[in-house]
Chain A
Amino acid sequence: MIKFEHVGLRYGIGPEVLSDINFTLEAGSFHFLSGPSGAGKSSLMSLLYLGRRQTRGLVTMFGQETSVLDREQMASFRQRIGVVFQDFRLLPHMSVFDNVALPLRILNKNEKEIRSNVNELLDWVGLGDHMRALPATLSGGQQQRVAIARAIVDRPKLLLADEPTGNLDDEIGMRLMNLFEQLNRMGTTIVIATHNHALMDHFGHSRLILDQGSLQLQDSKNWIQRKIEGVF
């Protein structure tokens, strides 16, 4: 589903922030993306959500090499990807409902379907009573849940989340991770960037470890199993 071959990324004429990245993510797989601050996680995420184009190498997504996509195709590809940004990027002038409904409105879904989906999802993430609120009136954790609801409302084929549980208490964090698991079981490929080792240990999915712009490990085996084998 996603294949990176010798991918590099640099900003302007600066040094490469990502160099020679190679990995493959199968459809319906679940991955954690980890690494120290400044390792290039956000840059790699931006390549995954097609926010940037690589400066070298090949990125293949949904069976097509992305550098040849025109703007129309790019939009279609992005519609299959849900993103939870670390800073949420909610639209501050819109209500919680409208923020979550936005991806469906972009797809020109009918309003009845939008109401039904958004209402159900907001209830599920515990924000059913806040759908009329503006984002600025919500706590960090609540805003994060809105961002997550917005990312998954359209049942994306690929879900990317940057520290999705960072501002949430353990209970809500676990509920959301269980939601990601559910989505994954329904066929959504999931990549979660996180520093939370406990979380990664608990769910045991494979890890992409980045360090200084290079991929140190693409661990496709069960993390706990690897740990038992004494790799780390």
Chain B
Amino acid sequence: MFNAEDKRVGSSDKTRQYDLPLHQDEGTGFLIVLVGLMAFLSTIVLSFSFTLNTVMDGWSEGLENKITLEIPAKIDEDTLRSSSELKKIQASIIEKMSQSDIIKTITPVEEKKLQTLVQSWLGQSTFIDDLPMPSLISMELHESSPEALNAISTSLRAIDKHTLIDTHETWLDDLLKLTRSMQSGILAIVLVIALTTVAAIAGAMKSQIEIHRNDVELLHLMGARDQYITNQFVRHASILSLTGAFAGLVSALCIMALIGFVFKDQDYGFLPKAAIHWDDISVLCLLPLIICGISAGSARYTVMQVLQRMP
């Protein structure tokens, strides 16, 4: 009965988009850009949060069951032990500790590596050679328990009472607290972005209802239920936000890939390699759907509220 041309112009529900010409409104492009920007910012800050997680995991896992013995060069204000003296104490400790069955591995930290670590904080400087550098021994225990640490401490006192045990707990706790605070900040930013998106969608929907008020009234007079009219706005908001969010996500991923490419050969010494896992990227890829869901919810609530005030 109907030819292809009939269907093309809208005599078939397959081609009919909306009863209301929402897709023709001028604000459509602006909303896509706004949601895109929100998605871009969300992707960037969430990626940063995921990177912090990776770094925290690196710190925690890297130091699990590991302790460092520090044989200080400077004992007090007047006494400075020589490098050969430190090496002698280091050798004694390694020999003694190697016989202990609570220790898995024991490795002396080479002087060169120690200088590299210090350079990460102080930079390249000739003064580093003049610093009273301690001697370090890295140890991995089978299990880091208070009993094991007490046993090591007792053994150490017999060799050199000035040698210190560093379980890394103090500074690791501080770092973890700092990164967790940063993640809370990021969560707050994401929340603000989500609320801004909700507000923007709500504003856009109110404005579109106002623009199409006569047509909305007409649909009501024809017997259209609020739900029927609302669905059209929700579908419109979902399509726009999905488009914008997808564009924002792709842009952010491109920018991050570029940053990753530029800084891939950089080494920051004490910092573990920053990276985003594929799991995290798959979570980021869900972002457009999440934003779409938020937009749809916001649109549904707003439109229903406005429609219920209409006759």
Contacts and interface: CB of A to CB of B under 8 A. Distances in A.
B225 A95 contact: no
19 contacts: A50-B221, A71-B225, A75-B220, A75-B223, A76-B223, A91-B218, A93-B21, A93-B24, A95-B9, A97-B9, A97-B10, A98-B10, A101-B11, A111-B12, A111-B13, A116-B1, A132-B5, A132-B6, A132-B9
Contacts of B20: 91
Given A78-B222, A91-B19, A97 B11 contact: yes
A94 interface: yes
Given A79-B223, A91-B218, A106-B223, A98 B228 contact: no
Given A106-B228, A115-B1, A132 B223 contact: no
Interface in B1-33: 1-2, 5-6, 9-13, 16, 19-21, 24
Interface residues of A, number: 35
Interface string A95-123: 10110011101110001000110010000
Interface string A194-211: 000000000000000000
A94 B10 contact: yes
Contacts of B214: 89
A8 to B, nearest CB: 17
Contacts of A78: 220-223
Contact of B218 (A52, A53, A72, A89): A89
Nearest to B212: A91
Give the one of B2, B10, B222 with max A CB within 10 A.
Answer: B222
A136 to B, nearest CB: 13
Nearest to B6: A132
A123 B138 CA distance: 93
Contacts of B6: 97, 131-132
A81 B223 CA distance: 8
A132 B12 CA distance: 11
Given A50-B221, A76-B223, A102 B19 contact: yes
Nearest to B225: A75
B70 interface: no
Nearest to A132: B9
A119 B226 contact: no
B11 A132 contact: yes
Nearest to B16: A98
- B-side interface mostly: helix
Interface string B215-245: 1011111111110100000000000000000
A51 interface: yes
Contacts of B5: 132
Given A71-B226, A119-B1, A95 B219 contact: no
Nearest to B224: A106
A72 B228 CA distance: 11
Contacts of B217: 51
B12 A106 contact: no
Interface in A52-67: 52-53
B223 A98 contact: no
